Amino acid sequence: MGSLRTLAASKVSPARLGLLSTKDGLVETPAFVAVATNAALKAVDLRDVPGVDMIFANTFHLLLHPGVDVVSKAGGLKPFMNAGDGRIIMTDSGGFQVFSLKHGTVHGELTQTQTQTQTHTASLKMKSVKAKRPDRYGSSDVRVGEEGVTFRSYRDGVRELLTPEGSVSAQKALNGSIIMPLDELPPYHVTDQALRESLDRTHRWMKRSLDRHLLEPKGQLMFGIVHGGSDKALRKASVDAIRAMPFDGYAIGGALGRDRSELYEIVGWVMDECGMWAASRAEDKPVHLLGIADPWSVRRLVQLGVDTFDSCYLTKISRHGTVLTGAPADPGRINIASGRWKGTVGGTMGEVTGCECSTCTQYSVGYLHHLKKAHEVVVDRLLSVHNLEFMARTMRWIRREIRRGTL
């Protein structure tokens, strides 16, 4: 029996309602996983967002500070960050951040202009771009070999080696519920030969990661990660390779296209033609999508059969003054810093957003506009609370519609 029990299956798509079992508790899926990079949601106290059931911490950053030994002495991430008994913590391998140093600044999952939102275009996670603020030690300091990847710490310049075994050992110390094997993440634009070599190395690294994990399971689940870029044959080969190893679940990673259309196409291949949907159902294993989760994409991705999603998108747009609005079935957004809100008095933000979170019921649009224009940091917290609760409400709506058989 796998870690995900199907409670209901959609009659109109591959979507399913599930119950994910971990050593730290249960969570209903489909589920959104909020990114807490440094063991904290940006500008938000976890107690302010009770609807966030799952969080994702970044091994790379925690390795460099405070160090996994510090977290381990505290009893692991849950007590260290006071995450609460009911939350599930996922940790990554650290590979994404290391390869971000090599390939340049990694843009957010989605661009943040209103036009791009309306046309459903996206700048997805491993699209290589010129860094706006390059790492001070230079991308040439990231070197990939069979043993692992070496890099210089962005904190003190000390050269570090990240191996599959070392990454898993770090995640054991962090003691999350779900962990990831070390993988290599080439950029979107890479030669066919380089992509094949990277994929083969990633499969070898994941086998080493899994072997280390199985020496000390600690009740943690490990998800195998499917790579292959936008090459359907390589994606199929990766699904087959991951299925041949005893992972507890699956994750879809790597370059996922230039826009939402390509994202849906690639995930569709993986789930359907490459066999992941059938495998996950037959084996009762969850499918996680790495690095993509916004209200416009999640609904379609759930309909392709994906169970969980992680992203920093919600807190990131909050810090730029973006507020999600409307119903989950038809989300919109506004910019709270826009001049249209200047001088607005009376009422609450909930009258604009249709939301009943603590921010929307207690503060007016005019006041939040003032805070943003005055650069008061409290506004980042207030908007993040709203956007995270909006996403939690969206996931509840999605689960309800699956149960009704309409999604």
CATH of the domain at 290: 3.20.20.105
Domain boundary among 319, 353, 388: 319
Domain boundary among 319, 350, 372: 319
pLDDT attached to residue 127: 46
85 is a catalytic site residue: no
- Together in a domain, 189 and 281: yes
- Together in a domain, 218 and 362: no
- Together in a domain, 283 and 376: no
- Together in a domain, 154 and 40: yes
- Together in a domain, 307 and 341: no
- Together in a domain, 266 and 377: no
Secondary structure, 3-state, the chain = CCCEEEEEECCCCCCEEEEEEECCEEEEECEEEEECCCCCCCCCCHHHCCCCCEEEECHHHHHHCCCHHHHHHCCCHHHHHCCCCCCEEEECCCHHHHHHHHHCCECCCCCCCHHHHHCCCCCCCCCECCCCCCCCCCHHHCEECCCCEEEECCCCCCEEEECHHHHHHHHHHHCCCEECCCCCCCCCCCCHHHHHHHHHHHHHHHHHHHHHHHHCCCCCEEEEEECCCCCHHHHHHHHHHHHCCCCCEEEECCCCCCCHHHHHHHHHHHHHHCCHHHHHHHHCCCEEECCCCCHHHHHHHHHCCCCEEEECHHHHHHHCCEEEECCCCCCEEEECCCHHHCCCCCCCCHHHHCCCCHHHHHCCHHHHHHHHHCCCCHHHHHHHHHHHHHHHHHHHHHHHHHHHCCC
- Together in a domain, 128 and 267: yes
- How many domains is the chain partitioned into structurally? 2
pLDDT in tens, the chain (407 residues): 689 999 999 999 999 999 999 999 999 999 999 999 999 999 999 999 999 999 999 998 999 899 999 999 999 999 999 998 889 999 998 877 777 666 554 333 333 333 333 333 333 454 443 434 344 444 448 888 999 888 887 777 788 888 999 999 999 999 999 999 999 888 777 899 999 999 999 999 999 999 999 999 999 999 999 999 999 999 999 999 999 999 999 999 998 988 999 999 999 999 999 999 999 999 999 999 999 999 999 999 999 999 999 999 999 999 999 999 999 999 999 999 999 999 898 889 999 999 999 999 999 999 999 999 999 999 999 999 999 999 999 999 999 999 999 99
> Which one is catalytic: 183, 231, 294, 310?
310
pLDDT attached to residue 151: 82
- Together in a domain, 343 and 306: no
- Together in a domain, 208 and 130: yes
Domain boundary among 319, 338, 360: 319
- Together in a domain, 243 and 332: no
> Which one is catalytic: 24, 92, 231, 294?
92
92 is a catalytic site residue: yes
- Together in a domain, 306 and 397: no
- Together in a domain, 192 and 331: no
pLDDT attached to residue 130: 40
pLDDT attached to residue 355: 95
* Domain extent at residue 363: 322-407
